[in-house]
Amino acid sequence: MNACNDTIAALATPPGIGALGIIRVSGSETIPIVNAIFKGKDLSKAASHTILLGTIRDDENTIIDEVLVSVFKGPHSYTKEDVIEISGHGSPYILQKILNLLITKGARLARPGEFTQKAFLNGRFDLAQAEAVADLIASENASMQQIAMKQIRGGFSNEIKKLREELIHFASMIELELDFAEEDVEFANRRGLVRLADKIQAIIRPLIEGFEYGNAIKNGIPTVIAGKPNAGKSTLLNALLNEEKAIVSEIAGTTRDFIEDEIHIDGIAFRFIDTAGIRETDDRIEAIGVKRTFEKMKEAGIIIYLFDLINESTDAINSQLKDLKASEVPYLIVGNKTDEADPNLKERLTREDTVFISAKGKSNLEELKERLKLCVHKSSGQSNTIVTNTRHLHSLQQTDEALNRTLKGINTQMSNDLVAQDIRSALFHLGEITGEVTTDDLLDNIFSKFCIGK
């Protein structure tokens, strides 16, 4: 990692032509560097959080652009250093020229994520919050945006920091006992330690369990449309996507490979997967498709189980539902083809959890969407903090395991140095999440994934 007190500059808006382009500068020399190319009010005399109009000129005094300059004096800025944002006209030529001038005056081109990295290193926020900034920028739907925003505003960081401090207390007590090993004293209250380990596990385990849900929200909830051949699965996929994506035909066994696409329903991304209809078949290719359907159903976040109200008997339908109930994946039972179905059949099947639709006629799809949303809210449980970052998940799992070992060590009256080692390990992994424990490699790895200028 290069000197952190360099003054850095980068384009903060996307490259290409735009109405405006913003160049950001941060570091101890920000004000003299920008002052050297800015003609207008003397920036060293400008108050923080003010915007000034002026021109950017090169060494020949040629006007490059007329700009607005926003001044943020450290520590009241994103990076806690002096920061200036130069808003110019969005011409790649002009912006490049301004950046070059800044560099000739002593700024250095920023690396990806370096502004946020400075913010982290200067204690503006912790690592999990810094990572959430990248998530926020990458968020494509309301749920992702909300999860990232919650994390930026503290999320689970504060709680983890508090617990870690309590654990540090126990760790130091146990270390102290090690120093007095001859004397058989007990500074660390074992019951208190067990209580704390339990408390930490009670907090981190739901976070670990919620990861799958969080990840689903990030990547789209895999929603498998399954059922017998000809139930209308491909028709339903097309109706939901509003596009003739999958082939529909009256021939049973039309779909053999799965076809998928994503849509957002009220900010939640669902990845709908149309599958091969489930039946015994001698056709080798179709049989592979059916096998894959079962695999997809196991991996699904939600299953939409579709049956044909015209061509299937009540008994046939009920026996399919029995198999479905055995599955661990949340499912929705959907009767299709209400447009031509015998209304009596529908009556006999009426169960609270069945949705009746006509995929072909696109009727009652709104209710289906509502029910899909309900499934998601149900599986998100009570936890309002959601972990979506694999790095956090890994650290939480390692913490959990270290605490298990700690508890086991206490229960089996293992020697103090072993228990101390397990507590240190738990502390290390908890600290990794918020960045109280870091390595340069880890930081480089995290921030290199950011965009330049953030």
Ligand X SMILES: Nc1nc2c(ncn2[C@@H]2O[C@H](COP(=O)(O)OP(=O)(O)OP(=O)(O)O)[C@@H](O)[C@H]2O)c(=O)[nH]1
Q: How many residues does the chain have?
A: 454
User: Residue 261 corresponds to which tokens in the numbers above?
Assistant: 């696409």
* Residue (37 or 368) nearer to Mg ion, CB: 368
Pick one of 117, 122, 234, 389: the residue that binds ligand X (CB under 6 A): 234
Q: Using the rule CB under 6 A, is 361 a contact of ligand X?
A: yes
Q: Using the rule CB under 6 A, is 235 a contact of ligand X?
A: yes
SS3 257: coil
How many residues sit in the footprint of Mg ion (CB under 5 A)?
A: 4
State the nearest-atom distance from the C-beta of 251 to ligand X, in Å.
Answer: 7
Q: Using the rule CB under 6 A, is 340 a contact of ligand X?
A: yes
Give the DSSP H or E segment for 269: strand 268-274
By CB under 5 A, which span of 4-12, 255-263, 283-291, 390-398 interacts with Mg ion?
A: 255-263
Q: Using the rule CB under 6 A, is 18 a contact of ligand X?
A: no
Roughly how many angstroms between the first and final C-alpha of the chain, as a whole number? 17
Q: At what angle do helices 127-138 and 114-121 cross, to 10 degrees?
A: 150
266 binds, among Mg ion, ligand X, none (CB under 5 to 8 A by kind): none
Cβ-contact 309, 228 below 8 angstroms: no
User: Residue 368 corresponds to which tokens in the numbers above?
Assistant: 């289906």
Q: Using the rule CB under 6 A, is 288 a contact of ligand X?
A: no
Pick one of 35, 129, 223, 255: the residue that binds ligand X (CB under 6 A): 255
Instruction: Give Cα separations from 43 to 8, 115, 447 (angstroms).
Output: 17, 21, 30
Q: Using the rule CB under 6 A, is 287 a contact of ligand X?
A: no
* Residue (339 or 353) nearer to ligand X, CB: 339
What is the CA 145 to chain-centroid distance, rounded?
9
Cα angle 225-217-242, degrees, rounded to a multiple of 5: 45
User: Residue 326 corresponds to which tokens in the numbers above?
Assistant: 């055995």
Q: Tell me the Ramachandran region of residue 437: left when phi exceeds 0, alpha when psi lies from -120 to 50, beta otherwise.
A: beta
Backbone phi, psi, residue 346, to 5°? -60, -40
Question: Which among 47, 42, 43 has a CA at the least distance from the CA of 25?
Answer: 43
State the nearest-atom distance from the C-beta of 246 to Mg ion, in Å.
Answer: 6
User: Residue 399 corresponds to which tokens in the numbers above?
Assistant: 């913490």
How many residues sit in the footprint of ligand X (CB under 6 A)?
A: 25
> What ranges make up the beta strands (E) of 327-368?
331-336, 354-356
Give the DSSP H or E segment for 89: strand 83-90
Question: In sequence order, what are the residues at sequence separation of 6 or more whose Cβ sits closer than 8 angstroms to the Cβ of residue 320?
Answer: 227, 228, 305, 307
* Residue (94 or 252) nearer to Mg ion, CB: 252
Q: Using the rule CB under 6 A, is 283 a contact of ligand X?
A: no
User: Residue 28 corresponds to which tokens in the numbers above?
Assistant: 């101890």
Give the DSSP H or E segment for 87: strand 83-90
Q: Using the rule CB under 6 A, is 209 a contact of ligand X?
A: no
> What ranges make up the beta strands (E) of 279-383?
302-308, 331-336, 354-356
By CB under 6 A, which span of 125-133, 313-321, 353-361, 378-386 interacts with ligand X?
A: 353-361
State the nearest-atom distance from the C-beta of 216 to Mg ion, in Å.
Answer: 24
State the nearest-atom distance from the C-beta of 360 to ligand X, in Å.
Answer: 3
Q: Using the rule CB under 5 A, is 364 a contact of Mg ion?
A: no
Q: Tell me the Ramachandran region of residue 283: left when phi exceeds 0, alpha when psi lies from -120 to 50, beta otherwise.
A: beta
Each residue 197-236 as x (binds Mg ion by CB under 5 A) or -, in order, gives ------------------------------------xx--
User: Residue 23 corresponds to which tokens in the numbers above?
Assistant: 């160049």
* Residue (116 or 234) nearer to Mg ion, CB: 234
337 binds, among Mg ion, ligand X, none (CB under 5 to 8 A by kind): ligand X
98 binds, among ligand X, Mg ion, none (CB under 5 to 8 A by kind): none
Pick one of 210, 232, 335, 435: the residue that binds ligand X (CB under 6 A): 232
Distance CA 424, CA 403 (A): 10
Pick one of 223, 255, 358, 395: the residue that binds Mg ion (CB under 5 A): 255
State the nearest-atom distance from the C-beta of 298 to Mg ion, in Å.
Answer: 20
Pick one of 151, 336, 389, 395: the residue that binds ligand X (CB under 6 A): 336
Interacting residues with ligand X between 211 and 230 (CB under 6 A): 227, 229-230
Q: Using the rule CB under 6 A, is 249 a contact of ligand X?
A: yes
Cβ-contact 198, 277 below 8 angstroms: no
Residue type at 20 in one-letter notation: L
By CB under 6 A, which span of 25-33, 173-181, 233-241, 421-429 interacts with ligand X?
A: 233-241
Pick one of 360, 369, 373, 424: the residue that binds ligand X (CB under 6 A): 360
21 binds, among Mg ion, ligand X, none (CB under 5 to 8 A by kind): none
Q: Using the rule CB under 6 A, is 296 a contact of ligand X?
A: no
Residues forming the site for Mg ion (CB under 5 A) = 233-234, 254-255
Residues forming the site for ligand X (CB under 6 A) = 227, 229-235, 248-250, 252-255, 276-277, 336-337, 339-340, 358-361
